[in-house]
A and B are shown apart, each in its own frame.
Chain A
Amino acid sequence: MGKAKYWSIVYLMVPIFGVGLFVAAPALRMWLPADVSEHGHTIDHLFVFIMYLTGAVFVATECALVWYLWKYDSKSNPAPTKFTHGSHSLEVVWTILPAATLLFIAIYQINAWADQKLVRRAPVESVGPDGVRGTADDVPKAPIAEVTGRQFEWRIRYPGPDGVLHTRDDLLDVNDLHIPVDEELVLVIKSEDVLHSFFLPNFRVKQDVVPGMKQKVWFKAVKGSEGRSYDLVCAELCGWGHYKMKGRVTVDTQSDYRAWLEKLSFEQHKTSEPPPATAEEQ
């Protein structure tokens, strides 16, 4: 081994620790958090796909760098400089290859994006006599709740028995969103003051809420997620209390969900029978 080659070793630590930390990450519990949404796996899949791709490029380029530094160290390399100003064919190769790869990634992911964000792909339901979705009598599915960001809490409004928001039988709640399991659902999100961001890490949902805009988000909690609750994080700076603008999303079975709404209704309108005690209260 030649003298002074240890500098190449310093750079070799980059790919070694770089890959090593990602390999160790799951053991450190530093990975994508548990995904309980139906669409989330497409996002996770894309993430992991890009991770392998960029990981390969990372290892290849970093190792080439280290190898050249090692091999062409002036202290140990007697060969004269390869006097060249470049290579046209190499430039063509390393332009076209990454261009094609990048274009592939770009096209590959468009659909997943559209499914999540294009309003015309939001869930619909059939109101017509046929009861079949995908026909002319489809209407956008009614939101199960409206979530309003406000310094520094999430206000939640359920439409109540009439199924219509902003009527007298609406049910109100703060920071505690309940959703039914295994059902495609739509939420309306908005803001009452500044920007916030409606972020559900476990459902792979994030959308900034903007004063003056009403937006929809849609997702489905998969079977098996019921009976648990998950974080609702504000992900857009909204002032000094941004860090504590925390909510919880509880996934209920259909019957628990109905019981929950009835409990709210009883507390707020004294209209229904007192609900039977739910599991939480026992």
Chain B
Amino acid sequence: MSSHALGDHGHAAHAHDLHDHAAHGHQMSFIGKYIFSRDHKIIGLQFLFSTLLWFIVGGLLALGIRWQLAYPWSKLPILGDMLFSGEAGQMSPEFYTALFTMHATVMIFLVIIPILAGAFGNFLIPLMIGADDMAFPTLNMLSYWFMWPAFVCFGMTFLTAGHGAGSGWTSYPPLSVIESAAPASGMAQTWWLLGVTFVGVSSMLGSVNYMTTIIQMRAPGMTMFRMPMTIWGMFITAILQAFALPVLTAAGFMQLLDRVWDTGFFVAEGATANNAAAMSGGGQPLLWQHLFWFYSHPAVYIMILPAMGMVSDMIACFARKPLFGYKPMVYSISGIAGLGFIVWGHHMFVSGMNPVLGVTFMLATMMIALPSAIKVFNWLGTIWGGKIHFTTPMLFAVAFVSMFIIGGLSGIYMAATPVDIFIHDTYFIVAHFHYVLFSGTAMAVMGAIYFWFPKMFGRMMHDGWGKVHFLLTFIFLNGTFYPMHLLGMVGFPRRLADPYHYETFAHLLPMNQFMTWCAIGMVATQIIFAINFFYSMFYGPKAGRNPWHANGLEWCAPSPPGHGNFDFQPIVYRGPYEYGSPETDEDYYPQWHPPKQGESSGGEEPKPH
């Protein structure tokens, strides 16, 4: 393998860049430094703050959904009088469809995807591989600034009449195409499509950059198999983005054309709704579903592989033990990525797709549960025989494992096609993806914020309040999402503004009220986090370079790292998980420490080479 040559190349590029930065570093204005910055760390933080703000929006939208499910057609607290003064403050069913559409849209496209790749990918990739910046800093800046048109477009969907797009985050035609089928959506649906397109451009720019940076700019000695799992997660994610996204972008344009110029890619011959004039059609509604899920199934892995990587790093660090089965871990995320391209049809088992085709998708889907299982076993293996430190990031990382087990296992029910006949489009699915995405990814992200906060801002977050934040979040999230499995077993359908007039579901109201109060508690708990975050940014104790005694290269840079990241050229001597190695007296053995027997590795002030 040519990793050595690559490492050398990275070295040369690095030295050259250092020179460049020294020449231009001084003329930087505030705007150049913090607004239109080309520094990966600033861009990462821009992504972080933007996505956390959208996280609040998405959370409040969720509370709107939960309110309606707990107290259908009652007065919406706080906003009701403002939005629905004519209806005594009670939300309209159109508004309900807009709520769940925009909740999912915001959470997926403006929170989870950009916080993983945009915030953590940007901040961590160069630091963890020992590069001074991304390969293409300008592209990187653009990848952030292309999020703004998306913010504006999605913002516009709220402002247009009817309060938002209402075809679900999946935007299935004909509902999303035929105007008269959803009059309230109006322009909002068009804005929605434009928003998704801009998010796609942003992701694509990021993904090209991440792939190039990881392949080309690794520090000397950083072979592919010495990369931390976080980097592997980001790398595979970038590849997934690059191959899957064009399909969504193209499909999005087709749907846009269908809406604006009646091209009819996705509507059948003579399509109509609400007694409107028939369209010429000639297309197929199922075509959209294929194209959409061809992107969006890989996208669910885009939403978890980086989180799995970060969790692996945190668990190894706080178990003070090497990651169990590093290579199997790498192979399993690669396996997930590969299989991830041939399972999209499991979202369409009962869509009208050829049922024989459904069988092949079922087989592939069953198999994709395998690498997920392997990863869980290896995390357990990592914890086994370690010396576990229950810091806040560790609590969140372990929660990820515990919750991902639930989300992975519920996937098997839905992969079993006959069972899916019953549970498709019920709350069982809602339970499944909240366990993988919220209880999984969002917990990993929380842990990662506590873990890398000292590197981002040079100060520690408060551990005690972090634990309070963890405990309450963990309890409330299970209170909110776990009962959804049971609702799904009854057949409780998703996306219904009021399911209780069905005889089958009438008795489920009290459980829904319980879940709503847990959700309110969960959102309220995040206030603790917000205060801790901002207080620690300014007043937290100074962190030093390596507060967790971790092994990764990012911990040899100053906290926060200056422009160009490292004040010496890091050279990598070993893998990232040498915790508890008998070769040193310390219980860690950083990647940048030269292998001298008996050398004291204080870690705070690495020696230049």
* Known A-B contacts A33-B491, A105-B366; A116 and B483 likewise in contact (beta carbons under 8 Å): no
A235 within 8 A of B: yes
Minimum Cβ distance to chain A for residue B163 (Å): 11
- For B477-493 the 0/1 string (1 means CB < 8 A from A) is 01000110111011101
Does A279 sit within 8 A of B, measured CB to CB? no
Chain A interface: which of B12-20, B105-113, B304-312, B405-413? Answer: B405-413
Asked if B504 and A50 sit within 8 Å, CB to CB, the answer is no
- Tell me, rounded to whole Å, the shortest Cβ–Cβ distance linking A15 to chain B: 9
Whether a CB of chain A sits under 8 angstroms from the CB of B248 is no
Using A58-B405, A211-B271, A243-B93 as known contacts, say yes or no to A98 and B370 having CB atoms under 8 A apart. Answer: yes
Q: A31-B489, A32-B489 are in contact. Are A73 and B416 (CB under 8 A)?
A: no
Q: Knowing A194-B178, A237-B495 are in contact, say whether A210-B352 is a contact too (CB < 8 A).
A: yes
Query: What A residues does B74 contact at CB under 8 A?
Result: none
* Assembled-state Cα–Cα distance A62/B384 (Å): 13
Q: Is A1 in the interface zone, CB < 8 Å from B?
A: no
With contact pairs A46-B418, A206-B421, A212-B284 given, residues A80 and B409 touching in the complex (Cβ less than 8 Å): no
Give residues 386-403 of B contacting A (CB, 8 Å): 386-390, 395, 398-399, 401-403
Give bound CA distance, A69 to B399, whole Å: 12
- Interface: B218 (CB within 8 A): no
Partner of A85, one of B175, B322, B350: B322
Q: Which of A87-95, A168-176, A253-261 contacts B (4 or more CB under 8 A)?
A: A87-95
Q: Say yes or no for B324: interface residue by CB 8 A criterion.
A: yes
CB of A54 within 8 A of chain B?
A: yes
Kindly supply a per-residue 1/0 record for chain B positions 338-358, scoring 1 wherever the CB is within 8 Å of any chain A CB and 0 otherwise.
Answer: 000000000000111001101
From known contacts A72-B319, A195-B172, infer whether A28 and B374 are also in contact, taking CB-CB under 8 Å: no
A156 on the B face (CB < 8 A): no
Cα distance A102–B363 in the bound complex, in angstroms:
9
Chain A residues whose CB sits within 8 angstroms of the CB of B321 once the complex forms: 81-84
Given A57-B409, A112-B418, residue A194 in contact with residue B474 (CB < 8 A): no
CB < 8 Å neighbour of A242 from B328, B401, B421, B495 = B495
CA distance A87 to B377 in the complex (A): 11
Q: Does B455 lie at the interface of the complex (its beta carbon under 8 Å from any beta carbon of A)?
A: no
Give Cα A102–Cα B93 distance, bound, in whole angstroms. 41
Which A residues touch B422, using CB under 8 A? Answer: 32, 43, 47, 201, 204, 206
Is the CB–CB distance between B352 and A69 below 8 Å? no
Determine the distance from Cα of A3 to Cα of B421 in the docked complex, in whole angstroms. 49
A25 within 8 A of partner (CB): yes
Number of chain B interface residues as a range: 35 or more
> Known: A58-B405, A65-B398. Is A231-B504 also a contact (CB below 8 A)?
yes
> Which residue of B173, B487, B499, B580 contacts A243 across the interface (Cβ within 8 Å)?
B499
In the bound assembly, the distance between CA atoms of A238 and B328 in angstroms comes to 44
Please report which residues of chain B, range 468-511, place their CB below 8 angstroms from some CB of chain A when the two chains form the complex: 471, 474, 478, 482-483, 485-487, 489-491, 493, 495-499, 501-504, 507-508, 511
B546 at the interface (CB under 8 A from A): no
Contacts A103-B366, A193-B181, A239-B166; A50 near B412 (Cβ below 8 A)? yes
B237 CB to closest chain A CB, in angstroms? Answer: 23
Complex alpha-carbon distance, A82 and B388, angstroms: 12
List of B residues within 8 angstroms of A21 by Cβ: 482-483, 486
Task: Mark interface residues in A28-58 (1 if CB within 8 Å of B CB, else 0).
Answer: 1111110000000011001100110010011
* B263 CB-CB contact with A under 8 Å: no
Complex: chain B residue closest to A90, CB-CB: B381
Q: Is A140 an interface residue (CB 8 A)?
A: no
Q: How large is the interface on A (under 10, 10 to 19, 20 to 34, 35 or more residues)?
A: 35 or more
A32→B419 CA distance, assembly (Å): 11
B434 partner residues in chain A, CB cutoff 8 A: none
B182 within 8 A of A: yes
Q: Enumerate B162-213 residues with CB–CB distance to A below 8 Å.
A: 166-168, 172-175, 178, 181-182, 184
Q: How far is the CB of A207 from chain B (nearest CB, A)?
A: 6
- The reply to whether B325 and A113 form a contact with Cβ atoms under 8 Å apart is no
Contact of B580 among A83, A87, A205, A210 (CB under 8 A): A83
CB of A86 within 8 A of CB of B269, answer no
Question: Which residues of chain B are near A30, meaning CB under 8 Å?
Answer: 486-487, 489-490, 508, 511
Having A82-B386, A114-B355, A236-B172, one finds 6 other A-B pairs with CB under 8 Å, namely: A68-B386, A69-B388, A110-B417, A193-B272, A206-B350, A231-B503
Q: What are 10 contact pairs spanning A and B, CB under 8 A?
A: A54-B409, A57-B409, A68-B384, A81-B580, A102-B369, A106-B415, A117-B355, A194-B181, A208-B352, A240-B166
- Residues of A bordering B, CB below 8 Å: 4, 7, 10-11, 14, 17-18, 21-22, 25, 28-33, 42-43, 46-47, 50-51, 54, 57-58, 61-62, 64-65, 68-69, 72-74, 77, 79-87, 90-91, 94-95, 98-99, 102-103, 105-106, 109-110, 112-114, 116-118, 151, 192-195, 197, 199, 201-202, 204-213, 215, 230-231, 233-244, 246
